[in-house]
Structures are given as structure tokens and as C-alpha cells.
Structure 1
Amino acid sequence: MNSSFNFYIPTNIVFGPGRIKELASMELPGEKALIVTTAGKSVIKFGYLDMVKDALKEHGIDSVVYNKILPNPILDHVMEGAQVARDNNCDFIIGLGGGSPIDSAKSIAIMVNNPGNYWDYIHGGTGKGQPVTEPVLPLVAIPTTAGTGTESDPWTVITNMETQEKIGFGLVPQTFPVISIVDPELMVSIPPHLTAYQGMDAFFHAAEGYLANISQPASDHFALGSIELINKYLPRAVKDGSDMEARTALAWASTQSGLVESTSSCISQHSMEHALSAFDPSVTHGAGLIMLSIPYFTFMAEKVPARFPAMAKAMGVDVDALPENERPMAFISALKDLIKNIGCDDLNINDFKLDKSQCEALAENAMTAMGFLFSLDPYEMSKEECVAIFEKVFEG
């Protein structure tokens, strides 16, 4: 844990069941909104899109919908969405849905006023790392899933399909949402398998942020709190999606894990998963993290065991009753149990369009496209060690 740090979260988080109703009366950061949402049907089927449009209309605010966002959002849609915003003179963006539309909304907000291609501003991989010089449009986030925590952090992850790079980016404070309405009632429609994947994404944000070499008191508190909540409530939400107590706990755990992202950071597990889903976009982010997790955290627990007992304790393990040398691996056992309890222990990377022969290329991609996260690891991982972790994932 670092004793010198910054803590700055400029987002107004409006949290609780039913609070989406307040959209019609709260002060919003513009007069015409581009609503960025998914290409799927859920936001229409369950009435979420109409709910937002009607609230804006009641507020006297016009809106335009851009609804092409994919589960792994892509560069082309960022550029197209920004053009739609320009063509319709939108002065703020609303991200409605899971992490993909909210991340895309952040990236679109950057590109409405800034010239060139979004990849010109990306740091890492083939990005040009140019400075963002023009104003970023303000953003309102309305998550309908509990997983990414993007409603409480400035980060956005976009895939460049041409280069097979999936890279995170963000600006402080510009890409923090101005307002995030986190209403667990919008999350009851998530099917069990996606509930599991999204919940584990939040879990790994917390675990990675706790291990990161830039962790600090606030991030530690948020991280252990999220780990505890997800371990307790995710199996309940997977079993019964209408369990409002579980949904509310997970909604807060996700938002809290976003606060971990804002005060600490993910580490190389996320870089490695981004490589998997860049090579095969059908790999859902949370599923990819789950498949990586046991080999990855086993490796880290062997190399740098000190912080693992606290995470095991947050998962309900009586670590004080264990021999000291067994305490770090107690986290791995608890993680295996959690994965089993949410029905994800049969996930197999070999069922996707990926092959063990790609392990070196996957490691190269992870360490190039999002190599910065490796610098935040508690242990300096070599490329050979990264390849070996990928190989263990394929070996099961």
C-alpha cells in the first residue's frame, strides 16, 4: 500500500432501486443527448430505452439514439457514433446499458470535438499517443449491468479490429461521468450466465486493484468490500435474478470496484484477457477473466503471497486458523469454490476460436497493447512467464 496518493472522484453517483425515475428532474449537463446503447434487444424489450427517452422528453431535452454497440465495442462504432453526435448537434452523451455502451459513450464523447481517428489518442500498441486538445462532451452513465464499474471510473476499453488490439484509455477528469444513475431495478433482467460473468469482472477489478503496486488505503477498503459482497451475493443473483437484495449488493460492488479502478488499477490479468477477446471477440470479457484466473492468481500467490490472505479472509476463510504457509493459497481455493457456485467451472478456452499454439502471440499482444498494466503488477512478469500462464489456461 502506498502512503502517498491522490483521491479524486468527480462523479455524482445516484444509487438505489427506483432512482432512474429521478432522471426527469435532475440537472443534466446539456440540452440534446446522444443516447449510446447496445445493438441487442434488451434495452428495448425491458423498456429501459423508452424510460430514458421519456424522462428526457419530460425534462424538455431532445435525444438521438445510436444503438450499434457490440459486446466488445469497436473503433468503427466510436467514430460513427461521434459523427452522429456532430450531425445532430448533441452537446452531451448518455451511455445506457452494460460496460460496452458506457465505454463507447466515453470514447464518443472524446471524438465529437477532436480531429482525426480515435486511435490517434491511444497510448500503447499502434496508438499514436497524441494529446486530446479539444473539449470532451459531458457524460451521463446509466448501467443496466453490475460488472465493469465504468460508471465510477474514467476508463474506456475499445477494440481495433484491424490490428487485433483491445486497449484501455481515459482522461482525468474529462471521461469520468458527470452523473451515474445506478438503479439495481434495471439489472433484474440479466440472465444467469451474464450475471456471473459480469459479477466476476467486478471481482477481478477488486482483486487486481488490491494487488497492484499503486494500491492505497481507499482502494484497499473498496477492494476488500467488493470481494466480500460478490462472494456472498453473486451465487444468489445467479440462482434468482429477482433477488433485489442480491442485485443491490452487486450493483454497489460493481460501482465500488470502479472506485478501485479510480484509486488503484487493474494489473496484467486484464491485459491478458484483452488479448484473448481481441483474438476472438466471442470471448465475453468476464468469461475470459474466469478462465485465466486460477493459473494467473496461483502464479501471483506463489511469487508475492503477502496480500492474498486478506482477500481470502474477505471471502469468509478463517485464515488465522491455517498454517501461515497455507494462507495465500486459501484465496485460490475460495476462488475455485466461487466459480463453481456460480456455474462457471465448466468454462473451457478450447471451446472458443483460440488455440494453444497462439500462446506466444497472445502474450506478445498483452504485453504490447496493454503493457502498461504489467508495470503495475506486484511482481515483474517475464514474457516467458506470461506465455506459461496462457499455456496452463489451455491445459485446464
Structure 2
Amino acid sequence: FDVMAHLTECLVSRRSNPITDFYCLKGVELVFEYLPRAYRNGEDLEARENMAIADTLAGWALVTSRPCLPHAMSHPVSAFYPEVDHGEALAALTCECMRFNIERGDEETVRKYCEIARIGGKNINSFTKEEALKSIDVIKELLEKIDLNVRLRDFGVKEEDFEGMVRSAFSTMRGPIEANPVDVSDRDIIELYKKSM
């Protein structure tokens, strides 16, 4: 799931650009199509090859753009709870971060989330926040297909650690926080952790 997180975050990042957007949108398309197949059957070489291409596109996007809020929040989760894999933490956090960005985002951010929803199979009639929320649905559907529709509580994460996790995010992940398309405060991050429980 880290590949999808890189792609969707770099797409909406403040550092995105037309080349990054091209890489990200194609990568998102490949992940939706091939990640469930690769997950179901590790011997499916076509699926694995296309996931490798998606991962390469995500890597290229990272060169000129930057991941944002889900990555900034996920690394402290794994630091405080080392048994939580990076992809698991991202799976637990991404949808609430998307909702936050859509609700507070500008037209460009909303349009990009609509594109994710469209690629994921949703009918998008206009670039509105309501339509953009469909991007959360397609990500949840993907997570269901790969048995990763999880919450932080599933890993034993405790609210008493949120303050420390926020301090960690701002001290070690300031770049992704600043790249987020919407300004975010420490209080916002605590609320997002709570909503991801």
C-alpha cells in the first residue's frame, strides 16, 4: 500500500507539477488494477511487473514532489509501535487524511482527488468536494481487497501516545507536513489520530 500512498500524496502535494501528476495518475491506475491480483497470487508475474512499474513511477514522483500528511503521521506510529509495519500505519491513516484535505482543500486539490476516484471506477460528474470524497471510497475498496482495511486500535495504539507522536511528526517529518496541500496544526494531527482509531 506504500506505493499507492506515495502516488496519491505526491499528486496532491504542494510540490507537485505536471510531470509528477502524469507519473502519479498512471501509477494509481496500475495499483488499482494490479495490486489486488499480486496480493491474491504472488506467482502472477504480469501483476508483479506492473506493480514494479507503479513503484518506479512513485519513485520518480518522489524526486520532484513529496509525500505529505499520511507519511508524516505514519512514521511516528511505527516509531512508537515498532511492530506496526509502515504500510499498515499508512492504511490506518490515509483515508482520514484524505478527508481532511478534501474538506479544507482548494479547487486543485479537490480536482486531483476526483481524478483518483475516477481512476478507481467512480462516476465523477463535477469537481466538487462531494465527488472528491469518492476517492476515499475507492481507497477503502482497495484496502478491503488486500485485507488491510485497518484502524490504529487494531494495532494496540493508545491515545496517551498521541502527544509524543505529534512531537515526533513535527521534529522528524516537517517536510511532508509542509508539503501537505492544506495547512495542518498539532491539534489537527491529534484529531486525525483519534479519527483513525
TM-score range, shorter chain: over 0.9
Structure with more helix by fraction = 2
1:280 to 64, 78, 81: 81
1:334 pairs with 2:130: no
- Superposed displacement of residue 353, structure 1: 4.6
Higher relative contact order (CA 8 A, sep 6+): 2
Could you tell me which of 162, 184, 196 is aligned with 1:381?
A: 184
Choose from 298, 312, 323 the match for 2:117.
312
Separation in structure 2 between the aligned mates of residue 390 and residue 218 of structure 1, nearest angstrom:
32
2:148 paired residue number: 344
- The aligned residue for residue 30 of structure 2 is 229
User: Counterparts of 1:197-346 in structure 2 under 5 Å?
Assistant: 200-304=1-105, 305-320=110-125, 324-345=128-149
How far residue 318 of structure 1 moved from its aligned partner, in angstroms, is: 2.0
Which amino acid in 1 is paired with 2:20? Answer: S
- 1:337-376 aligned within 5 A: 337-345=141-149, 347-376=150-179
How many residues end up aligned between the 2 structures?
Answer: 193
Deviation at 1:271, TM superposition (A): 1.3
Cα distance in 2 for residues equivalent to 1:360 and 1:262: 31
User: What letter corresponds to residue 335 of structure 1 in structure 2?
Assistant: I
**Structure 1 residue 350 displacement after superposition:** 2.2
The CA deviation at 1:317 is 1.9
**Once the 2 structures are TM-superposed, how far is the Cα of residue 306 of structure 1 from its aligned partner?**
3.4
5+ residue gaps, structure 2: none
Normalising by structure 2, report the TM-score.
0.92
- The alignment-based identity, stated in percent, is 28
Instruction: Name the CA distance, whole Å, in 2 between partners of 1:323 and 1:216.
Output: 19
TM-score normalised to structure 1 length: 0.47
The corresponding residue for 1:68 is none
Residue identity matched to 2:172: A
1:325 positional shift: 4.5
More strand by proportion, 1 or 2?
A: 1
**CA deviation vs aligned residue, 1:209-248 (integer Å, no higher than 9, x gap):** 0011110111100001111100111111111111111111
Contact in 1 for aligned 2:114/2:127 (Cα 8 Å) = no
Deviations along 1:66-104, whole A, 9 cap, x unmatched?
Answer: xxxxxxxxxxxxxxxxxxxxxxxxxxxxxxxxxxxxxxx
Deviations 1:341-365 (A, max 9, x none): 11112x3422435301211221121
Identify the residue that residue 390 of structure 1 maps to in structure 2. Answer: 193
Q: Structure 2: which amino acid aligns with 1:295?
A: E
Helix, strand or coil for the counterpart of 1:380?
Answer: coil
CA gap of 1:356–1:249, structure 2 versus 1, over 3 A, is same
1:375 alignment partner AA: E
State how far apart, in whole Å, the 2-side matches of 1:323 and 1:268 are.
22
Mapped partners of 1:238, 1:367: distance in 2: 34
For the 8 Å contact 1:214–1:265, the answer to whether it is kept is: yes
| Partners of 1:225 and 1:314 within 8 A in 2 | no
**CA offsets per residue over residues 141-186 of structure 1, 9 Å max, x none?**
xxxxxxxxxxxxxxxxxxxxxxxxxxxxxxxxxxxxxxxxxxxxxx
Find the structure with the greater CA-based Rg: 1
Instruction: Read off the aligned partner of 2:184 and give its amino acid letter.
Output: M
| SS of the residue 1:319 aligns to | coil
Question: What is the CA–CA distance in structure 1 between the aligned matches of 2:89 and 2:99, rounded to whole Å?
Answer: 16
**CA RMSD of the aligned region, Å?**
1.5
